[in-house]
Structure formats: structure tokens, C-alpha cells
Amino acid sequence: MNRRPRVFSGMQPTGGLHIGNYLGALKSWVELQDDYDCIYCVVDYHAITIEHDPRDLQARIELVARGYLAAGVDPERSALFVQSAVPEHTELAWVFSSLTPIGLLGRMTQFKDKSKDHEDNVNAGLLTYPILQAADIAIYKSEAVPVGEDQQQHLEFARDVVRKFNLRYGGLFPEPRTILSSAPKVLGLDGERKMSKSLGNDIGLEESADEVWRKLAPAKTDPARVRRTDPGDPEKCNLYRYHRCFSSEQTLQWAAAGCRSAGIGCLDCKRKLHQHMEEQLAPLRERLLDLQAHPDRVREILAAGAARLRPIAQQTMAEVRDRLGIPRWPTT
């Protein structure tokens, strides 16, 4: 038996992955595989809380799954699957919903934000979203969850609900701890908002070297550098944050000093950044394209992941039903 602590994390199939997803999540997911028994999920049932086009959901699921694999999630070591393939997630969510005060849900930041962004569709799923997330984690008795800062409140909620279950029905679930991403926050190319495909300020993992360059070249830097001869402050430059994620220490020093003294122009600095980005992103992009050419391989990996996880989820759910006093019905 594998006795390593269990990690669970997931992303919504909202579209193509970008370097923000890579730096903020996928990179650490890949590293965690060395020390944890990892489960990585594409959470499709979460995605329907916002209006979506049923015709392209499967494609978006597979797109995200390819991103996990290309980044280095290893299906030999970790389970990679789609949430809806293991129905016990939603079953446990129902149980958890009966332990959750409505008021708590209404106070969730993400709910408030999404209600504002989708005023005409403030549905109950949007409200109970964190309950399903808690069930995702608890159904495998997961002990740790790598997420970004924006998900801390949902993790706090997950700990609350399993604590309540344990108290009322007897200890069954570990309280999942947060593994906070240590990656420096990367903003979108506008330097103002979180990187997001829908905002159009992203660099997609599948974009070619040329496409990336066409986005970097006009991107905002320190506004003080109007002319080539104006000195700047790297700490005020959005792209210097990208350098921090991709470039060597030596390049960082070169960029910072050159910026402060106006010894280099922003374009020189961007060229260097592009070069370092390519070193990390080119192999990833190649794997993405290869997986895209072999969709059956990805589907098999997802099916195998679900097949491996289903018995675990079924076992947990049987324990939950026992605790609740729900009878065992004979299966015919």
C-alpha cells in the first residue's frame, strides 16, 4: 500500500491553459508528485455553474487534461481524471450541504464576485460550489490541497465542513491543509488584472514562439520608461515579474541594473525574457501538440484515472452512509 499523504487539486475546464496556470499551479503539482500520492482532477461539474456551451465542454476538458500532462503530471504516479466520472463527488456534496449553514456560503468572496459578474444567472450551484469542492477533497480523504491564495477561503470552508461531519458522526475525514503556491503572482500582460484568457491578457501554453513574442513586444513595462534613455524601476515593471519566474539569476541582475541605468531598452529586456521563456515553454508546447495529435491516449489516461479512484470513492461513500444511518440496499 502507498502510505504517502494524499494530495488533491483541480481546475475548471474554462479554456486553454496559460503561463499563469503553469507557474501558479501546475509547476507545484508536478513537484508534489515526489512526496505525495497525488490526485489531479478536471472539475467539469463546477464549470456548469456558469453558462457554458455543451458542444465544446468535452473539448475544453481534454484541453486542460493535456495541459496537466504536458506540464509533467505523470499518470504512472498520479491519478488524473474528470470529476463527473466519479459520481460519488456529487453524492457526498449532498451530505455536506446538509451540514452547511446557508449564511456561510453567501459570505464567500468568490460567490460574491461571480454573482456580480453573472448578475442574470446567480444560481444555487454558484452558491453551493464550495460544498462540491469540499466533497472533491474529502471523498479521497485527502490531506493536503495545493491552491492559490484565492482558494484559501474555500479550503477553510472544507476544513469546517469535515470537522462538523467528524464531530456529529464520528471522525472519518482528515482536515485538509492548504499548500499555498509559492510562485510570485503573475498578472496579465496589461499588468493590472489576473491573467485570464477571457480578459485577453494571457500567454497561452499552446502559443508558438512567434505568437508569444507578438504579445511580449508591445506589453506594458515601467511607465517611467517613455524613451529608451529614461531609467526605470524593475520593481514597477510587470515583465520583470515574468523574468523572476523564467530567467536565471544572472539575467535578473542584468535586467535590473540595465533598467535602472537605462543601459538597456525594454525591448532588449523583453528579447532576453522571451529566450528564457522559450527554454521552459518550448518542450511543454511540443508535448501539448503531441498529445493533441493523440486524443485517444489522453482519453485512456482519464478513464484509467477514474477507474483507479472509483473504488476509493465508493468505499468512502459506504462509510458515510453507515455513519448517517442510511440502510444498505441489496444490489440486484
Active site positions, annotated: 114, 194, 197
Residues 280-309 that bind ligand TRP (CB under 6 A): none
- Of 278, 274, 205, the closest CA to residue 19 belongs to 205
Q: With CB under 6 A as the contact rule, which of the stretches 146-154, 192-200, 228-236, 311-319 interacts with ligand TRP?
A: 146-154
The residues near 132 (Cβ < 8 Å, ≥ 6 apart) are: 43, 45, 46, 89, 90, 93
Residue 147 within binding range of ligand TRP, rule CB under 6 A: yes
Q: With CB under 6 A as the contact rule, which of the stretches 5-13, 257-265, 269-277, 281-289 interacts with ligand TRP?
A: 5-13
Residue 151 within binding range of ligand TRP, rule CB under 6 A: yes
Residue 145 within binding range of ligand TRP, rule CB under 6 A: yes
Residue 186 within binding range of ligand TRP, rule CB under 6 A: no
Q: Report the C-alpha gap between 276 and 84 in whole angstroms.
A: 38
Residue 44 within binding range of ligand TRP, rule CB under 6 A: no
Residue 313 within binding range of ligand TRP, rule CB under 6 A: no
Q: Which long-range contacts (CB under 8 A, 24 or more apart) does 213-222 make?
A: 213/274, 215/189, 216/189, 216/270, 216/273, 216/274, 217/267, 217/270, 219/189, 219/191, 219/270, 220/189, 220/190, 220/191, 221/266, 221/269, 221/270, 222/259
Residue 21 within binding range of ligand TRP, rule CB under 6 A: no
Report how far apart the first and last C-alpha atoms of the chain are (Å, whole number). 31
Instruction: Render the burial of 308-326: b for 16+ CB within 10 Å, e for the rest.
Output: ebeebbeebbeebeebeee
Which of 26, 43, 203, 301 forms a contact with ligand TRP (CB under 6 A)? 43
Q: How far is the CB of 258 from ligand TRP (least distance, A)?
A: 37
Q: With CB under 6 A as the contact rule, which of the stretches 4-12, 50-58, 74-82, 302-310 interacts with ligand TRP?
A: 4-12
Q: What one-character-per-residue DSSP string does 235-246 give?
A: GG-HHHHHHHHH
Which of 17, 61, 137, 309 forms a contact with ligand TRP (CB under 6 A)? 137
Which of 6, 27, 46, 243 forms a contact with ligand TRP (CB under 6 A)? 46
Nearer to ligand TRP by C-beta: 33 or 221? 33
Q: Report the C-alpha gap between 25 and 39 in whole angstroms.
A: 14
Reading the block at residue 262, the C-alpha cell is: 537605462
Q: With CB under 6 A as the contact rule, which of the stretches 130-138, 204-212, 228-236, 308-316 interacts with ligand TRP?
A: 130-138
Residue 32 within binding range of ligand TRP, rule CB under 6 A: no
Residue 144 within binding range of ligand TRP, rule CB under 6 A: no
Q: Report the C-alpha gap between 137 and 155 in whole angstroms.
A: 9
Residue 20 within binding range of ligand TRP, rule CB under 6 A: no
Interface residues with ligand TRP (CB under 6 A)? 8-12, 43, 46, 133, 136-137, 145, 147, 151, 154
